[in-house]
Structure 1
Amino acid sequence: MELINRIADVIIPVFFIVAIGYGYALRMRPDMASFNRIALDVLAPLLVYSALAAKDFQIADHWTLLIGGTVLILGSGLLALPLAKITGAQPRTLVPVVMFNNCGNMGLPLALLAFGSEHFGAAVALFSVSNLLHFSLGARITSHSARSRDLLMSPLMIATLLGFASAFTDVRPPEVMLSGMKLLGDALLPMMLFALGTRLTALTRSGLALGMLGALARPLVGLAIGIPLAWALGLEGAPRGQLLLFAALPPAVIQFMLAERYQQEPDKVGAMIMLGNALAVLFVPLALALGL
């Protein structure tokens, strides 16, 4: 009973905010383009940098978890490739959807609620590693014409690299500036959930069949790798829970933007992502039950 209450305490606030975004979008049909730009160019970079550069974040304490996250991403891609061939899906469409999860919009708020602020830096580090791989290797998988250099020069990637540099060198801005960065960056967490709810209004019945493969493959492949990987790496407690939550998250919303940019079946990618995020109500509690 205590475990059920803990899981409910984590997921209810998250899906409550998603539901508010969904309901608001059904009624008002807001244009989220401006918010998405602000989120990617300002809020997300400040959130990432302030977490990685914080004095209490010691990157040496999280090496095993970061290695686990990297192996999980790459391993998911390796398993998705034969799955695409078996099902007849285009690898450039399916593989990135299975590899990269929604560790920003959904993963960060969930990690904060499930494991507390003392372990939040580790979740941001996982998010940062995922973004580095997504905007380099993931972009190249999506399209052979993708220019990873342009993606890696985005504000979010620059903030990630600067954050890791601060974590390694202990060189950081004055504490008063870091506090301001954190205050503004923290605003991203509830707003990402609200934005996710608005995006779910795009899910249609015609997209259900197309989206089911990627929607199910992302968390199932992730958990199939993540559970034995956590044991092999000797992860316990919060790090083990973080890796299993990371493994079970739905497909990354940002992959739709890449698919649309490079015209790699964006309609199919969108269906996989929307349905996958809707099904998170099933897989997230499962991951929390395994990890808490």
Structure 2
Amino acid sequence: MLAELFAVMAPVLAGAGLGYAWVRLGHPYPVDFITRLVFNIGTPALVLASLSGANIDAGTFGHVMLATALVILTMGAASFLVARLLGHHWRVVIAPMMYPNTGNMGLPVVLYAFGSAGFAYGITVMVTVSLFQFTLGAVLDAKGNPLKTLVKTPTVYAIVIAMALLLTDTPLPPWLANTVDLMSGFTVPLMLITL
């Protein structure tokens, strides 16, 4: 049992450990560049590659999204109450409690615990969390225009395209499927190293 758990967690620990060791050894690490690369190219490619080739039907996809949305909204309500009880402003508490780390830590754990079939469900959860962050999160943050944030987020376009492909049971053309698959490969490792 412990060996199986370690096999699942070792890639996460190794990725985060590599990033920690890299910085501790004094090597430069361009966090801003890596974050933009992952945010603008890697994550959209990961969403498209994972969902367009996933063996998941639209009904199950919808159920997982709904369940994730209910968890997020429940955690939002609970964090609001906790903030009131502790005497903190709700804006300080709500974001870290409402939005779980489903990307850089959740995806590798799901992949190595449940394989590629489970990974599609993990991506579905990450997609739902991302949609909430880019919509409700932008509204709650109250900095700037949430619609402008949404329009400028490449992951949102990837989500819409992937959902359309999933709902219509349409595969990506092979050249595009290969491209997004290749580009998606750097996303999770770079997220872990940056973490």
Band the TM-score falls in, shorter-chain normalisation:
over 0.9
Selected match of 1:8 from 2, 6, 9: 6
- Contact 1:93–1:142 at 8 Å: present in 2 too? no
- Contact 2:54–2:117 at 8 Å: present in 1 too? no
SS in 2 for 1:28: coil
- Which residue is 2:126 aligned to? 127
| Pairing of 1:184-199 with structure 2 (within 5 A) | 184-196=183-195
| Pairing of 1:165-244 with structure 2 (within 5 A) | 165-196=164-195
In structure 2, what residue type is equivalent to 1:32? V
Separation in structure 2 between the aligned mates of residue 114 and residue 89 of structure 1, nearest angstrom: 37
In structure 1, what residue type is equivalent to 2:52? A
SS in 1 for 2:102: coil
In structure 1, what residue type is equivalent to 2:5? I
Separation in structure 2 between the aligned mates of residue 101 and residue 151 of structure 1, nearest angstrom: 20
TM-score normalized with structure 1 length? 0.63
TM-score normalized with structure 2 length? 0.92
- Contact 1:18–1:195 at 8 Å: present in 2 too? yes
**Shift of residue 141 of structure 1?**
1.5
SS in 2 for 1:65: helix
In structure 1, what residue type is equivalent to 2:38? A
Per-residue CA distance 1:101-155 (angstroms, 9 max, x = gap): 1111111111111110122111111111111111111121122x44221222211
**Shift of residue 57 of structure 1?**
3.3
Selected match of 1:25 from 12, 23, 26: 23
Separation in structure 2 between the aligned mates of residue 168 and residue 195 of structure 1, nearest angstrom: 34
Question: Larger RCO: Structure 1 or Structure 2 (Cα < 8 Å, ≥ 6 residues apart)?
Answer: 2
**Shift of residue 55 of structure 1?**
5.5
- Which residue is 2:85 aligned to? 86
Q: 1:51 aligned to 2:50?
A: yes
State how many pairs are aligned: 193
Per-residue CA distance 1:230-260 (angstroms, 9 max, x = gap): xxxxxxxxxxxxxxxxxxxxxxxxxxxxxxx
- Contact 1:77–1:98 at 8 Å: present in 2 too? yes
Give the superposed CA RMSD: 1.5
Per-residue CA distance 1:17-65 (angstroms, 9 max, x = gap): 1011011112224221111111111111011012111153323233333
SS in 1 for 2:103: coil
In structure 1, what residue type is equivalent to 2:91? R
- Contact 1:21–1:194 at 8 Å: present in 2 too? yes
- Which residue is 1:217 aligned to? none
Separation in structure 1 between the aligned mates of residue 71 and residue 27 of structure 2, nearest angstrom: 39
Separation in structure 2 between the aligned mates of residue 183 and residue 112 of structure 1, nearest angstrom: 17
Separation in structure 2 between the aligned mates of residue 151 and residue 57 of structure 1, nearest angstrom: 29
- Contact 1:41–1:156 at 8 Å: present in 2 too? yes
SS in 1 for 2:162: helix
- Which residue is 2:105 aligned to? 106
Q: Which runs of 5+ in 2 are unaligned?
A: none
Separation in structure 2 between the aligned mates of residue 179 and residue 119 of structure 1, nearest angstrom: 21
- Contact 1:51–1:57 at 8 Å: present in 2 too? no
Q: Which runs of 5+ in 1 are unaligned?
A: 197-292
- Which residue is 1:95 aligned to? 94
Q: 1:147 aligned to 2:145?
A: yes
- Contact 1:152–1:158 at 8 Å: present in 2 too? no
